[in-house]
Structure 1
């Protein structure tokens, strides 16, 4: 594919912003690479899309065979500002020429401090905050739990049904889904308790009662089974990611946050997937005015480079002794420069507003698709984080993972990258880059509609 600069509402793109399928998916070069992979890579590492990437930018991913696919995945909400964003690439290249590593714990540098200052300013709440940097979302959640236990002197941690927090021992324990994340990897970390989630589509009392009923159940179970005085922290995604883009029913998050505040429990918001403009707010907690004690961030923070952060109340994080936090690569200088560029891009290109505009295009189209296909039981999401949940038929709640996989396969074959999710594997989730051009967003939804129609007629 020839490179060119194309104007869009969110700037310019180096690659032609077009869908183009010139071979089968996967093509011959991707199949060759797949053979090499089978002989070299542990099979436990899986991939959604059976193609090998050669280039990416704006709203497209280009494979080694020259196919150009519309990107509705953003590397799982990582490339919010677009892949190889020029502002990010420029700052990364400049920093890589100066120095790539000293270890902040050995010889510090300004960009680490600047990222922490920015997160202290931008995360919800106007209280005094502190931040430290790590490498991944899982590492951030682990450190948030560690900080909560240290600061409160308590041990118990509460997580929620359908939640996903990572693949390390502790975050795997916090994660609700067995296969593939937990199966065979036990025993798990102690003192982790799971509570019901306010899942409107599947709440027994109906969506209209979900928020208050789920909060009451969770609070009752915490009180009876653990005792609030034993709970160090509650860890929750403001919109659950891998669990199926479950947006908690209104009132649930504020009620849990109020309960935590009353009992000296730290409310930990896992904003790893929801942060950095993805939901139409800079952080998803802002939607209901929830102010967490601790916020974990990663994914979209650095435009594709490994970086994560824990931002918390100063009176919590200041308690931890020097040397109790850190890591060799945490806050790598190249990643820090990328993060500063991402924050500039979000502000300068008004990507919070852009995320809302994307949702205003996607959600009506998805609801109209649901009207034509009774297998779509629920349409949900906020901003540029939307999903459909597939069931066996009209009025049914039985999950339909087979149809979900078939629609995803047809989307991939037609040149649209989509992701699946959900505890039952029956959710199609959509995470387009916030800089995707309007025509590609519309065309991607066209492909999705065609794939649904084809899958339904074949089934």
Structure 2
């Protein structure tokens, strides 16, 4: 495979468009590497100046099928000629999409309700849980990201998401997540025996109004820095919720549809939530989300009490069917695991070589590199992270940066990536790290 050439970014066309964007779009939407995307194919993106890039963002873990997947594109084109929106009137496409999605789920989850965004799915989960439990408090976790609408922000655990937006929706109770690399309790896993779960009751005694009805959690925390809890932690949390008769909500908007090497991340430990929030990879580029649940919990809502103007529209339903077909026919969950197993040792070899990589964590094709000050090997280095990401873009690799401290590099390519593309991307990443440290 031909190596990518160095390019000055932004290129001339990108620069002109970015200047126009600054004039007509608010700055709140302009915080990416200055590359204006033009088109894509598989794991590749071309900017408006004609420069190719390997995409290691998947559009924030959306395009699991890769960019411009032929089956998905044909399904969208075909449906667009027939019917595009009905509001809540049923269509054959929506009903079939619901049936197909339910068949992929763990058998205790029997129904799905389609929406458009991940925030909508988490908001719906909060409403359903409160109705079913007849209690208003939701326990969530430090570092959690469940969306940017007010209910979703309220249960979220990142201050910068809520910063200066005033009072949040009442009823949110937060506790520390299993961020073992930076354990707030200064414990050592697994010797601690999931100490952060052991102290949840004590935590609630000081923060809850004794009206707790549900727990909401991500299998791994994406926005907080791809923080993966230790094996068994999520199952232990589920047991804790069952012992207290709470609604258990798992937010898999980001982690589902093959991303972790299984269709759903909860499959790794046979976790059985009452409600499951889905999105991103479900549409692989189209705005599709869903709330899956058990009969008893979902039946707490009366007819017409949940609806969405565009949720389950014919266009997105046809796209969902194409996505589910592609995941099955192309065996993308297993492919994600296989490519992840190839990628992980390379990332660990970089960690051994460069002391600025404090932690490598993840599973399959969702991994994070926590970048730290090389002098002490632990202090978060947001500036070094920024340099590495920019250096990589100049050399043809698009990365993202996330994390509570803004110091984690997102490693999340489309699931269709090949080994030779991983090799090229890792070569660029190493060059970018070395240059940032120079």
Normalising by structure 2, report the TM-score: 0.96
5+ residue gaps, structure 1, are 1-16
Paired residue secondary structure (1:296): strand
Write the distance in 2 (CA, Å) between the matches of 1:244 and 1:35: 30
Corresponding residue of 2:22: 38
Paired residue secondary structure (2:293): strand
Conservation of the 8 A alpha-carbon contact between 2:173 and 2:207: no
Corresponding residue of 1:239: 220
Of residues 312, 315, 318 in structure 2, which corresponds to 1:334? 315
Query: Structure 1 residues 44 and 210 mapped into 2: Cα distance closer, same or farther (>3 Å)?
Result: farther
**1:120 Cα offset (Å):** 2.0
Q: Deviations over 1:43-80 (max 9, x none)?
A: 11123121111110111110110000011000011000
Of residues 112, 118, 132 in structure 1, which corresponds to 2:94? 112
Of residues 397, 412, 417 in structure 2, which corresponds to 1:416? 397
Write the distance in 2 (CA, Å) between the matches of 1:360 and 1:290: 23
5+ residue gaps, structure 2, are none
**1:344 Cα offset (Å):** 0.7
RMSD: 1.6
Of residues 198, 220, 225 in structure 1, which corresponds to 2:202? 220
Corresponding residue of 1:51: 35
Residue 54 of structure 2 corresponds to residue 70 of structure 1: yes
Query: Structure 1 residues 210 and 363 mapped into 2: Cα distance closer, same or farther (>3 Å)?
Result: farther
Write the distance in 2 (CA, Å) between the matches of 1:167 and 1:61: 27
Paired residue secondary structure (1:89): helix
- What is the correspondence of 1:349-428 to structure 2 with a 5 Å cutoff? 349-393=330-374, 396-428=377-409
Conservation of the 8 A alpha-carbon contact between 1:19 and 1:70: no
Query: Structure 1 residues 357 and 210 mapped into 2: Cα distance closer, same or farther (>3 Å)?
Result: farther
Conservation of the 8 A alpha-carbon contact between 1:123 and 1:295: no
Corresponding residue of 1:7: none
Query: Structure 1 residues 427 and 210 mapped into 2: Cα distance closer, same or farther (>3 Å)?
Result: farther
How many residues of Structure 1 are paired with residues of Structure 2 in the alignment? 436
Corresponding residue of 1:131: 112
Q: Deviations over 1:125-160 (max 9, x none)?
A: x22522101110011000001000001101000110
Conservation of the 8 A alpha-carbon contact between 1:377 and 1:395: no
- What is the correspondence of 1:289-308 to structure 2 with a 5 Å cutoff? 289-308=270-289
**1:261 Cα offset (Å):** 1.3
Query: Structure 1 residues 119 and 225 mapped into 2: Cα distance closer, same or farther (>3 Å)?
Result: same
Write the distance in 2 (CA, Å) between the matches of 1:81 and 1:193: 36
Write the distance in 1 (CA, Å) between the matches of 2:375 and 2:203: 34
Write the distance in 1 (CA, Å) between the matches of 2:5 and 2:13: 14
Query: Structure 1 residues 128 and 197 mapped into 2: Cα distance closer, same or farther (>3 Å)?
Result: closer
Corresponding residue of 2:433: 452
Corresponding residue of 1:256: 237
Write the distance in 2 (CA, Å) between the matches of 1:177 and 1:21: 38
Normalising by structure 1, report the TM-score: 0.92
Paired residue secondary structure (1:310): strand
Write the distance in 2 (CA, Å) between the matches of 1:173 and 1:21: 45
Of residues 233, 249, 254 in structure 2, which corresponds to 1:273? 254
Paired residue secondary structure (1:209): coil
Corresponding residue of 2:76: 92
Residue 61 of structure 2 corresponds to residue 81 of structure 1: no
Corresponding residue of 2:191: 209
Of residues 438, 442, 445 in structure 1, which corresponds to 2:423? 442
Of residues 2, 6, 10 in structure 2, which corresponds to 1:26? 10
Corresponding residue of 1:185: 165
Residue 295 of structure 2 corresponds to residue 311 of structure 1: no
Corresponding residue of 1:12: none
Corresponding residue of 2:175: 195
Query: Structure 1 residues 248 and 442 mapped into 2: Cα distance closer, same or farther (>3 Å)?
Result: same
Write the distance in 2 (CA, Å) between the matches of 1:138 and 1:347: 27
Write the distance in 2 (CA, Å) between the matches of 1:80 and 1:18: 24
